[in-house]
Structure 1
Amino acid sequence: MFKRLFWIGLGVATGVLAVSKAQAYVKANTPDQARQFVLGPDQDHVAMRTLEGLITEFKTAQRTREAQLNQQYSGIIKD
């Protein structure tokens, strides 16, 4: 079990390192207009905007599914 956790942690750390290096390379070697087209005007906080978007999308899907389940099962259980 500890081997598995070690390798998962190593994989995550390698992935984070690779992504950060790739982003630094893209920022250093692309023209500003191209970066703004791809990354948007706020290029320093792309990761936070992406994470916020993912969390918002997840919460929206969760609320939608919860509403569907509540509607589906609200008539079955009666006190």
Structure 2
Amino acid sequence: MLKRLFWVGVGVALGVLAVTKAQAYVKANTPDKARQFLLGPDQDHVAVRTLSGLIAEFNETRRAREDELNRRYANRAAR
């Protein structure tokens, strides 16, 4: 279990490093119009916007699944 947790942590760290380096490369080597197209007008907070979007999508999906399960099991309990 600890080995798996270690390797997942290493993978996450490498992923974050790769994304950070890729964003730095894009910022340094592309014209402003292309950067705005790729990263949006607020180029300093791309990670925050991405993370907030992922959290919002997760919560929306979680609520939909909870509603589905509640309807399914409420119908079973009512029988």
Please state which band the TM-score falls in when normalised by the shorter chain.
Answer: 0.7 to 0.9
Unpaired runs of 5+ residues, structure 2, are none
What is the percent sequence identity of the aligned residues? 69
Are 2:27 and 1:30 aligned? no
| TM-score, scaled to structure 2 | 0.82
Partner of 1:48: 48
Which whole-Å deviations, capped at 9, do the CAs of 1:46-65 have from their partners, x for residues lacking one?
11101100110010011111
The corresponding residue for 2:39 is: 39
Instruction: Compute the displacement of 1:3 (Å).
Output: 4.3
Give 1:13 shift: 2.2
Number of the residue aligned with 1:69: 69
TM-score, normalised to structure 1, is 0.82
Q: CA deviation at 1:69?
A: 1.1
More helix by share: 2
Measured in 1, the distance between the counterparts of 2:68 and 2:3 equals 41
Going from structure 1 to structure 2, the CA distance change for 1:3 and 1:66 (only over 3 Å counts) comes to closer
Aligned length in residues: 78
User: Residues 11 and 70 from structure 1, CA distance in 2 versus in 1: closer, same or farther, beyond 3 angstroms?
Assistant: closer
Query: 32-41 vs 9-18, which deviates more?
Result: 9-18
